[in-house]
Structure 1
Amino acid sequence: MPFSRMKFVPVLRQGWILGSRDYKLIGIGSILGPLWPTITLAIRVILIGYVFAIVLNTRQDDYLPWLATGWASWLMISSSINNGAMAFDNSKRLMLSIPIILESFVVRVVTKQLLIFLQNLVVVLVVMLVYKVPVTFALLLVVPGLLISGVFLTGLGMILGPLVSKRKDFGQLISSLMSAMFFVLPIVWQPDSIKTEGANLIIGLNPLYHYLQIIRLPLMSEVPTVLNYSLAVLGAIVAVGVGALVMAKVRDKLVYWV
């Protein structure tokens, strides 16, 4: 199915149905169910935030909002990439039994992670209230930030999903890279602590940094830079374009690879 003929509405509808169903199944059998990802985030932010604020010699009222917003944003981004790469391998039964547009399986992953992110905003809200972070209209910018990031993550899943289905080792490689990125990106540390221009250049050249910023900064009532938005939009366009070409090429072969 060429990119120009892709059925966007059915893809979004099918992806939403599957993704929301996956979200409801989180922690099935436990008392708290889907609340566990948020509880886990809260525990990590409190414990690591307290310890790292001491280790990094920074004030908790500055550090914990930075950590909470960054960690919540990164969980959505990294989980979408990791699970998007496995989107087709993890959907083999559905691919073989139900006529679903293949791109829906990638939208399914992004939908689930977006719902978890919205739930995790409870942790961010509590931290903001405790440390009295001011709320401005910049908070509304989180909406375009999520939309741009969602488009990028969907396009990336359309690229990585077929790649991992055919070459399973790439799944492990992607998972390792995402684990490393948690420490490379300014999530548990702040860019202000870096004094060299070379280090800031490395951060700026990391495309994931800009997606992190266009979600995190509005949550802190700050406005991302024009560079953040420009590179994020460019990356989303490229990812979707390349992803559409990849899917058009492998669509008939993909079911035999999973």
Structure 2
Amino acid sequence: MGLLVATSMAASGCTPNTGPAATVGPAEPARRAAQSFVHCVESEGGGCVARDPKQGSWDAFALLQWLGAGSPTSILQALRRELEHHRNPFAVQDRFVVVASRYREPLRGAECTPESATPIAELLPKAVSQVETRMQSLGLWRNDLEEVVGGLAEEAETGLADGWLVHMTCYGDPYEIWVATAKRDERQVVVGMLTSMPGWLGSGPLDDERVEGRIHSRTLGDSTTLGVVREGSVDTRWIPIPIEEF
């Protein structure tokens, strides 16, 4: 009897799992790449930025986003300089290094995690349409600018056709960032990042429910950062310090 039970248990332990295999969503490699990059920036800053030709494609997309959201005065004054900068791959990389270095301290301890990911191929037509509409309304849509926008869009599409824009939310300042990835040798690599996103590209303010939900989702003691303090949530009458009068 004991031998029969042991044999039965051994047989059941070796039974192969014939259930459906767990699948990974198409955005998961980009989300993981973004998370790894942020962890690296927390430690190494600009040292996490490696040379990649597709950084130029991301710079083209970022220029379109700037044309669609930047002030008309800054566009008129800086467009020529920005295009010259864009033609220099080392200058593009240096700018990315500067951004990563600047956000090393803010990201450290902010506990940023991927919240969503959008194919850049879906965002690019929105950016081009916004630029055209905006420049026409400002009276700046001329043949030369149309050629510039078309060239930037083509460059962005070529390098970022399989790329993603990963939206990451954080428990502390800066609260949210966007990390761009591109496909290289069957894997996703980070080629750029943004610290703000215009609403016409799908961004929106963090509402109270989402902010409060992120605060309450943490258990006491598992974080070294402060939560979000909403304006008006602290009664200054109960702060035990003298208030200076001027």
For the criterion TM > 0.5, the same-fold answer is: no
Identify the structure with the greater strand proportion.
Answer: 2
TM-score, normalisation: structure 2: 0.24
TM-score, normalisation: structure 1: 0.23
- Higher Rg: 2
Q: Structure with the greater relative contact order (CA < 8 A, sep ≥ 6): 1 or 2?
A: 1
